Every structure is written in structure tokens, then in C-alpha cells.
Amino acid sequence: MSRRSISRSPSPRAPKRVKIDHLTSEDFKNGIMLAPMHGASLVWGPEMVDKAMLHAERVIDPATGVVSFNGKSRAMFTTHPIEKPYLIFQLGSADPELAVQAARTVMNDVSGIDLNCGCPKPFSTVEPRASLAPYHIYL
């Protein structure tokens, strides 16, 4: 009966760190970290509905540079200029004209706009959007 030697896995290695030369640790002080620090080339923000963005007020915090789009009671969407090269804004719309107006509201603060014409969640199905098409029979 032969004995096998116990195989040992190699020592664990530290994960590779992605270098982003134009960002410094000062850009991420106070515990703020962005996905690009971990290698993401693009990041998507939360989906915002066109009508909400059209009623938002754009405010820039002079101390931090944070851009906020404020609704009636709170900031609906916030970003910082350092995020612009990576940030894609998700816009929910059922109306081409409203979509263009809302896109113009944020276009100087983001790198791109992802138009979402609907999803089968209740907030999207209360108005006609593309996601409702499979649920309707057209005669």
C-alpha cells in the first residue's frame, strides 16, 4: 500500500490592482470609492424617469463639487465631475420628446445615456412603454 504525498495548494496571492494613473487617493478621500478603482471602464447609475428629471433642480455643492439633481424633498441623482468619464445615465421614458429634454438636462454631467423604454415592473407598466408590448394583443 503506497502513501501519496499531501498536495498543498500554492500560497494565496494578493489580487491584481488596477492602475488608473489619472486618479489619486485624494480623489477618493472620506471613504468614497468608485467602481473604476476596481477596473470597471463604465458604470451605470440608477434609472431615473424623464418626467422626474424635468422637474429637478441642478445644484452644485461649491465645497465638494458634487452635482445634485434635487426633487421636491431630496436629491434624486448625484454625481461628481471625476465620475463623468465612466458614468452612464439610465433614463426611463415612453415619450421621445420628454426623453430628449431629460437627456439634455444631464448630458454635461455624464458620459452617455442609456434609454430604457420600459421593464415589466409596476412603476413602468402603469403607463404605455415598450415592455408592455408582449402583454397586449393588437388586432
Mean pLDDT of 33-59: 81
Mean pLDDT of 120-127: 59
How much of the chain, in percent, has pLDDT values that exceed 70? Answer: 56
Tell me: the pLDDT tens digits for 79-108? 999 889 889 999 988 888 999 999 999 999
Give this prediction's pTM: 0.61
Asked whether 60 and 66 are in contact (CB, 8 A), the reply is yes
Residue 58 lies in a domain: yes
Domain carrying residue 89:
34-135
Catalytic status, residue 119: yes
Catalytic site residue from 59, 119, 130, 133: 119
Residue 5 lies in a domain: no
Residue 25 lies in a domain: no
Tell me: the pLDDT tens digits for 56-71? 999 999 999 999 999 8
Residue 93 lies in a domain: yes
